[in-house]
Structure 1
Amino acid sequence: MVQSIDIRQLSDAIFVEKDNGTKVHYFLYPEFEIHQNVLPANTVQDWHKHQAIEEIIVPTKGSVTIQVLEEDVIKDYTVHCGDVLRVKKSIHRIIGDKQEDVAFTVFRFVSTGKDQSEIIKNDKVDCEEWVQKVSTKPKG
């Protein structure tokens, strides 16, 4: 049997407002997490790093500055709406815009360290013919 989709509403998420004002909706799954964040204007998150997880950040409103400690020097990088940031094992923190709230989505998972690119590229199976054959829904 084909498994159906899983839709989680914003109201299904675990909501946390952090001490610094960051608002986070946590969508938790066994294999990964998705966080929807709103960072108020002038907010600076704490310095941190991740030991085992992979964290991907995609700004969805505005731009964020990420500060990274590289060879004992703090470096600033700006990530714009639609860009994709992979933080890897860096010591980092996120700084919001000085004027406006920013929003970003965070994808968190434990990477296997194996190259999965061929599986990812070739995973799609065309079902157009099968759906046309079994579908009872009127067309149009």
Structure 2
Amino acid sequence: MRTTTPLISRAADGKETVKPDGTAVRYHLFDEYEIHWNELPDGVTQQWHHHDTIEEAVHVVSGRMLLHWRADGAQHTEELGPGDVARLGTAPHTWENKSGEVVRFIVFKLVLDGVGKREIFRNDKQLD
């Protein structure tokens, strides 16, 4: 559903939960995507998981964490820090915090149609 007016989803509008591992999550679910704020405590590794249809992208806001994923028969690891973005696709993945501080990151969950939209993102802004 397209909207021509801003839709504000305040922090209090999100569904909040604390997972058994201590990760705090605030979910904002929309018709075509989901955005959630995560706070991953030090010493926590999220359970390995993947999605068959949903694609995830992670944007680290503060702190440093390890992203682990499996692809091509091997396990891979990259450290992510503030400002880093990782597009996870549908690969099995987890993140781990061994930084000594809480890591804050935003997850974008999308169900994509496979049609490239870069030109729309580059050119759709109209100045008033």
Common fold by TM > 0.5: yes
**Deviation (angstroms), 1:4:** 2.5
Between 62-71 and 22-31, report the one with greater CA deviation: 62-71
The residue correspondences of 1:1-140 to structure 2 (distance < 5 A) are 3-127=4-128
| Amino acid aligned to 1:88 | G
Between 94-103 and 53-62, report the one with greater CA deviation: 94-103
1:134 aligned residue: none
Q: Is the 8 A contact 2:24 2:38 kept in 1?
A: yes
**Could you say what the CA RMSD is over the residues aligned between the two structures, in angstroms?**
1.4
| Amino acid aligned to 1:69 | R
Give the paired residue count.
126
Q: Secondary structure at the match of 1:87?
A: strand
**Deviation (angstroms), 1:99:** 0.9
Distance across 1 between alignment mates of 2:105 and 2:84: 10
**Deviation (angstroms), 1:20:** 0.8
**Deviation (angstroms), 1:29:** 0.5
Q: Which runs of 4+ in 1 moved over 3 A?
A: none
Distance across 2 between alignment mates of 1:103 and 1:12: 19
| Amino acid aligned to 2:81 | H
Structure 1 unaligned spans of 5+? 128-140
Between 76-85 and 64-73, report the one with greater CA deviation: 64-73
- Measured against aligned partners, the alpha-carbon deviations of 1:34-66 in whole angstroms (never above 9, x if no partner) come to 000000000000111111111110000111101
Structure 2 unaligned spans of 5+? none
Q: TM-score, normalised by structure 2?
A: 0.92
**Deviation (angstroms), 1:27:** 0.5
